[in-house]
């Protein structure tokens, strides 16, 4: 009787009214599918009006609100003002596009609410293990290699460099850290390497000084002679080189370092080769591109994303490490409240390695599910076709630019990144920069397309990064027309 | 014409048949709601049969599979074998329970597929900013403080300690790292501090030696006299103490360090106070518990989760840092392809700080949405009631245990963690351990309940961590009955 009474007064967070909550979920699903199905009719981006911004300054909600009313807030203030990267003409910053099945998988994962960290006798661990095994095979890593799904390539780069540091320091780095009386560890990457490498190096306590920035050639690839000279120079100075970071698809221009040459050099110099293949690693899938990524499979660790060029929803990255023991050794630590696994029985009694032994994180969501369902839905062959399609579209855009005297291609475009600008006779460099900045903003603010920008040899460039499965060549025809139209109009404004 | 032809042959990853894909989504949603609505009728856990495990060894999918067939695979091999933490009698490892609205929010976030990193003129950034502002207010931090949503408390602890390290080292730590000629940095935490602290210290390059493990008192709180002595000792040895880590709710017993005393000590010793409040920080919400967390609001940095005691789906943690400048200074770095913000116009022209300036990560999903919708759905007052309810339920369990001569309460249970064991006359320590290990496994394997275990003063303990909004007192009545039933039965087996 006591218990019965207690049951009656105990509350929970399940819906009071399951039926109306169910209706709400179906309405959300329909709205989101309508939105995605009609995305081409939406602006590529639109600014948030002040009244919407003001909505986000309301105080902490103390009392419950009606779920339907909350959803109306979402529809009014959140959904209409997205970043825009689901749109067919979003080409900024190499963002991913997302898919319907990816959205479904995220819903299912959140419903199961699995923590895929340190218990190995449940389905999520088997799904993640299979996805990692597939990725190893696709990217040419041996079956004995180790892997981990991450939240993105910054985390993957951090993980890979952490393993490199532990594996190559000739002392117990987990115990002594970098604070002992040891030679200074240094590593190498090109000036075009992604900023997440620098951020990882700083976080690891190596100091940004330890990251030697090596110049690039005209194709924006690391200069091998300069790299070798820098290594020799550092050795002579009593420093301890331990790692080279190669780029497979740089963020600025899509350039690939010569990965085979880097692998040879690392072998002869006894250095760890980490490859940052954030989006570029996926060149391996397309027959006409795979030569660019040749040597990738020789890396000691490889970082890449699935939420960029594999088009899966955020967040999803991966790191592969050739030597499973080194991966585990860099992170594994089992406190008493997690001990007792691998007994063959119970929730901790599975026979798979713990993913938490390969990272500093313990709680881990079921991010593997979207990869598992997406890879099955489309099959690798379709991803290969779409990646090839994105590159062909980028070549198409580069050709349009080169054929047009009012436009200038500003760097080789070997992959899916195209850097260009509008040029107008009689404008000096500062005026060209101003003009192109205005074009960039007008494209965004008129909802035409979203591009980003960068600097190449000091000059401002419009930058198209095409990791968009919804893009068609016709979208690039439109982009070129609009850049020229805006260039002409803005030039008149500048002259006035 | 050219473009029209190209459009015709270009493919994408949108559904070929939107209508059947829409039907599939609605079926998934209904199935998941049925599952959650009927969760009490499911086993708390069940092992994965060999044929399901074998399913996850199939080769890389090369060709596309039918979406409906993929979902059938999910229903057959994935969904029936979850970790179990949505179940009302799952009390292992302090895992979260999840909610329906949380699942909806994840679906909407994946549909929008927003990258909430470094562009600030879209709605997701406003949602995250508002959620962080709410969390600052709830946890007693000033409006000027800084915050960041993370993937979990391991990431939050890493972030907070990284800021502490940068802020307190009297040299440019981002540039020089820990490799310069400087005094060794050391920090302090109790022997009961969470393993993620040690993992963060190792990753940061400080070395586990730098983490001084301070003994605890009978209530499992850090021994203040021992802490102060250790600091003096290290200073005398020429080391550089920079940080104390306080625990607000330890993972083993739910103990709270005396946070006000730690804040006083850190002030007088000029040390950074980082508080790990993974689940325990939420004691602030409940009037009868908030005294435990008193002093939390004086921390320089505070790490906590929303996917544990706030019951939101994985992954969702937060770190708050008192000094916004110090937070930014530890991480901010803007490469050329991200420059050009805060112009007041376009996608980078918003007026909010970039979250990527407060972490090493660049890509960031829209994890704020589930917090925003959940806090509105229930209101803080209901979270406060449920947290109080979880603690009262834990006290209820502790009382049942203390009233029963066949059970032993193994540590004070000030919060929601209860450590106990079955005791049987005539059994020595090794036999007691074996018996309780068998009880733990039998509870799981019979689908009755999921507990975890730990060691307290060397002795094996069954451990209940109650962060479950679906739990009722009657579930603990059942647990005690079953532990006793299993204890009696297994004792007979042991004697046979």
**Integer Cα distance of A238 and A236 in angstroms:** 5
Q: Buried b / exposed e across A121-146, counting CB within 10 Å, b at 16+?
A: bbbbbbbbbbbbbbbbebbbbeeebb
Which of A45, A57, A65, A123 should be substituted to probe chain B, the one whose Cβ sees the most B Cβ atoms within 10 Å? Answer: A123
Range 228-287 of A in CB contact (< 8 A) with B = 251-252
**Integer Cα distance of B336 and A103 in angstroms:** 32
| C-alpha distances out from residue B455 to B8, B192, B216, B278, B458, Å | 65, 11, 15, 20, 5
pLDDT score recorded for residue B345: 82
Is the ipTM value over 0.90, yes or no? yes
Compute CA B223 distance to the chain's CA centroid, rounded to the nearest angstrom: 26
pLDDT tops 90 at residue A66: yes
- The per-residue pLDDT for range A339-381, each reduced to its tens digit, is 655 566 888 888 788 899 999 999 999 999 999 999 999 999 9
Which of B22, B77, B115 should be substituted to probe chain A, the one whose Cβ sees the most A Cβ atoms within 10 Å? Answer: B115
CA-nearest of B477, B475, B472 to B400 is B477
Q: Are A90 and B49 in contact (CB under 8 A)?
A: no
**Integer Cα distance of A110 and B172 in angstroms:** 42
Q: Least CA distance to B128: which residue of chain A?
A: A56
Q: Tell whether omega for the bond before B201 is within 30 degrees of 0, i.e. cis.
A: no
Q: Are B324 and B141 in contact (CB under 8 A)?
A: no
Range 419-448 of B in CB contact (< 8 A) with A = 437, 440-441, 444-445
Strands (E) in B21-145, as ranges, are none
pTM above 0.90, yes or no: yes
Report the residue from A77, A111, A151 with minimal CB separation from B32.
A111
**Integer Cα distance of A362 and A335 in angstroms:** 11
Contact partners, residue B129, CB within 8 Å, separation at least 6: A56, B352
Compute CA B100 distance to the chain's CA centroid, rounded to the nearest angstrom: 19
User: Strand, coil or helix: what is B204?
Assistant: coil
Contact partners, residue A386, CB within 8 Å, separation at least 6: A311, A469, B11, B12, B13
| Structure-token pair, residue A70 | 């909350």
pLDDT score recorded for residue B258: 98
Q: Are B432 and B244 in contact (CB under 8 A)?
A: no
**Integer Cα distance of B33 and A19 in angstroms:** 10
* 8 Å CB contact of B82 and A112: yes
CA B334, B340, B343, B347 dihedral sign is negative
Calculate how close chain A gets to B267, using CA atoms only, in Å.
26
Range 150-179 of B in CB contact (< 8 A) with A = 151-155, 158, 162, 165, 173-179
Which residue is associated with the tokens 């009214």? A17
Beta bridge partners of B417: B465
Range 340-379 of A in CB contact (< 8 A) with B = 340, 343, 345-347, 349-350, 360-366, 369-370, 373, 375-379
**Integer Cα distance of A128 and A148 in angstroms:** 8
- pLDDT-flagged residues of chain B (< 50): 1-8
* 8 Å CB contact of B174 and A207: yes
| Structure-token pair, residue A444 | 């965004």
pLDDT score recorded for residue B8: 47
Beta bridge partners of A302: A275, A320
Range 197-236 of B in CB contact (< 8 A) with A = 198-210
| Structure-token pair, residue B255 | 């103990």
Residues of chain A found within 8 Å of residue B42, distances taken between Cβ atoms: none
Q: Is B336 on the interface with A (CB under 8 A)?
A: yes
Compute CA A104 distance to the chain's CA centroid, rounded to the nearest angstrom: 20
Range 382-401 of A in CB contact (< 8 A) with B = 382, 385-386, 389
* 8 Å CB contact of A126 and B61: no
Calculate how close chain B gets to A218, using CA atoms only, in Å.
18
Strands (E) in A34-111, as ranges, are none
CA-nearest of B333, A150, A316 to A162 is A150
How much is the average pLDDT of A285-302? Answer: 96
Report the residue from B61, B119, B333 with minimal CB separation from A380.
B61
**Integer Cα distance of B242 and B166 in angstroms:** 10
* Angle at CA of residue A372, ends A370 and A377, nearest 5°: 90
Structure-model confidence comparison of residues A215 and B333, the more confident one: A215
Calculate how close chain B gets to A57, using CA atoms only, in Å.
6
Beta bridge partners of A452: A463
CA-nearest of B334, B112, B345 to A83 is B112
* 8 Å CB contact of A107 and B28: yes
Q: Least CA distance to B443: which residue of chain A?
A: A346
Which residue is associated with the tokens 């406003």? B126
User: Strand, coil or helix: what is A347?
Assistant: coil
* 8 Å CB contact of B205 and A178: yes
Residues of chain A found within 8 Å of residue B341, distances taken between Cβ atoms: none
**Integer Cα distance of B475 and B352 in angstroms:** 47
CB atoms within 10 A of CB A191: 13
Q: CB-side exposure of A73: number of CA atoms within 13 Å?
A: 18
**Integer Cα distance of A417 and A249 in angstroms:** 9
Q: Tell whether omega for the bond before A112 is within 30 degrees of 0, i.e. cis.
A: no
DSSP letter assigned to residue B354: -
Q: Which helix (H) or strand (E) holds A228?
A: helix A224-236
How much is the average pLDDT of A409-431? Answer: 94
């Amino acid at each position: 009787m006591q218990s019965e009474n207690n049951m009656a007064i105990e509350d929970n967070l399940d819906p009071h009214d399951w039926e109306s909550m169910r209706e709400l979920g179906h309405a959300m699903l329909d709205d989101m599918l309508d939105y995605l199905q009609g995305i081409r009719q939406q602006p590529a981006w639109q600014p948030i009006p002040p009244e919407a911004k003001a909505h986000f300054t309301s105080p902490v909600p103390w009392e419950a609100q009606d779920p339907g009313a909350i959803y109306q807030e979402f529809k009014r203030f959140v959904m209409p003002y997205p970043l825009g990267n689901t749109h067919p003409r979003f080409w900024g910053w190499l963002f991913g596009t997302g898919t319907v099945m990816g959205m479904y998988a995220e819903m299912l994962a959140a419903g199961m609410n699995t923590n895929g960290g340190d218990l190995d006798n449940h389905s999520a661990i088997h799904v993640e293990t299979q996805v990692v095994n597939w990725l190893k095979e696709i990217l040419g890593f041996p079956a004995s290699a180790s892997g981990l799904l991450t939240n993105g390539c910054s985390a993957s780069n951090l993980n890979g460099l952490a393993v490199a540091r532990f594996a190559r320091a000739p002392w117990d780095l987990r115990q002594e850290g970098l604070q002992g009386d040891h030679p200074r560890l240094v590593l190498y990457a090109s000036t075009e390497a992604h900023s997440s490498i620098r951020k990882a190096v700083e976080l690891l306590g190596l100091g940004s000084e330890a990251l030697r920035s090596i110049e690039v050639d005209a194709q924006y690839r690391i200069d091998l002679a300069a790299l070798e000279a820098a290594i020799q120079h550092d050795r002579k100075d009593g420093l301890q080189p331990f790692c080279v970071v190669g780029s497979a698809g740089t963020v600025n221009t899509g350039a690939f370092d010569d990965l085979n040459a880097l692998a040879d050099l690392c072998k002869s110099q006894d250095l760890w080769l980490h490859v940052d293949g954030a989006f570029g690693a996926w060149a391996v899938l397309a027959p006409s591109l795979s030569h660019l990524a040749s040597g990738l499979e020789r890396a000691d660790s490889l970082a890449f994303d699935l939420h960029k060029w594999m088009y899966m929803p955020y967040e999803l990255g991966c790191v592969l490490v050739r030597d499973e023991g080194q991966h585990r050794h860099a992170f594994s630590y089992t406190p008493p409240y997690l001990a007792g696994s691998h007994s063959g029985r119970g929730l901790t009694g599975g026979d798979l390695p713990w993913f938490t032994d390969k990272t500093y994180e313990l709680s881990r969501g079921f991010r593997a599910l979207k990869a598992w369902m997406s890879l099955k839905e489309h099959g690798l062959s379709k991803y290969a076709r779409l990646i090839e399609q994105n590159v062909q579209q980028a070549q198409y855009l580069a050709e349009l630019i080169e054929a047009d005297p009012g436009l200038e291609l500003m760097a080789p475009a070997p992959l899916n990144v195209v850097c260009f600008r509008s040029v107008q006779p009689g404008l000096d460099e500062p005026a060209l920069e101003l003009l192109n900045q205005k074009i960039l903003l007008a494209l965004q603010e008129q909802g035409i397309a979203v591009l980003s920008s960068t600097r190449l040899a000091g000059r401002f460039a419009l930058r198209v990064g095409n990791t968009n499965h919804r893009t068609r060549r016709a979208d690039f025809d439109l982009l070129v027309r609009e850049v020229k139209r805006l260039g002409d109009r803005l030039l008149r404004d500048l002259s006035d």
